[in-house]
A and B are shown apart, each in its own frame.
Chain A
Amino acid sequence: MSEARSPETLLDRLPYARFLGLKTVMEDDVLTVVMPFADRLIGNPMLPALHGGATAAMVEMTAIAQVALSYPRLRLPRPINVTVSYLRSGKPLDVFARARIAKAGRRVAHVTVEAWQEDQANPIAALTAHFLLSDDD
């Protein structure tokens, strides 16, 4: 794996991940993505709460980073579809997320992600995504 493809730098290379301010942390082979709180992530200024679109993009980027880590031969993991469940309002705090590849076949990987803030046991969002594992079409 070349330096540019390492998980620490994959999200740094993606402009939208940089726009969201995403950071990648590797600890004991476990990949955690962090979205530090920023005002521009707010969707409801009255609560205030994070925009669901920011949370969704963050968990999707976490899945992309995990698939890239597990499948370094892919140029860039491409999602076929994603389903985001919103479990709790996102507070104006940092968000953390970890992904798990629940099943990987020849062509498709099934990935789940959970995102949390203060307590990992109380996730704010859950993602289920399917990724194409081939670079053609």
Chain B
Amino acid sequence: MSDPFLTDILPMLAGGAAPHPGALGFAFESLDGDRVRIRVPYRDDLVGDPDTGVLAGGLVTALLDHVGGLAVWLALGSYKPIATLDLRVDYMRAAEPGRALLAEARCYRLTRSVAFVRAWAFETSPDDPVAAAQAAYMVDSDGGRGAGANLKRASGAAS
């Protein structure tokens, strides 16, 4: 596995390449075929229920959204602009306080425009999930107009 996209770029995209996943402590865990895993270490400021110490549902959603994007890039084999179209998360049980949370995602169908992803969050095995997600991502989300075309149009630049 000497493809630098898989060995260097994807692990970087998993964690510190952008401020938000970096601030949350997201880190690359492993690759297995078309499945990618990331982790978020337990931290007190990521808790959603101060009485129990359970991590916030919103953090789990952010983790699943992020690992889903990595699965799309893995399926594409390269970095392209993508944007989450929608994301559904089922919360099966509370995460165990004090433990790191893992997330695994797989892009099970990739078309020219849309990538379809399933993802799971768990402490030890995806067979015992904290949450499961189904998501769709728009691929080449700039539509060939250059990244952030909608933002540029809004700020008055010619489209």
| Interface, chain A (partner B; CB < 8 A) | 13-20, 39-47, 49-54, 56-58, 60-61, 75-76, 78-86, 88-89, 91
Contact = CB atoms under 8 A, between A and B. Distances in A.
Nearest to B53: A15
Contacts of B49: 14, 76
B86 A84 contact: yes
A84 B24 CA distance: 20
Contacts of B84: 52, 84, 86
A122 B142 CA distance: 19
**Chain A CB within 10 A, most for which of B20, B45, B59, B148:** B20
Nearest to A58: B58
Contacts of A51: 18-21, 62, 65-66
- Chain A interface, >50% SS class: mixed
B85 A81 contact: no
A45 B13 CA distance: 12
A74 B22 CA distance: 34
A19 B46 CA distance: 7
B42 to A, nearest CB: 12
Contacts of B21: 43, 51, 53
Interface stretch (B88-96, B108-116, B119-127): B88-96
B6 interface: no
Contact of B88 (A41, A46, A83): A83
A79 B57 contact: yes
B157 to A, nearest CB: 13
B12 interface: no
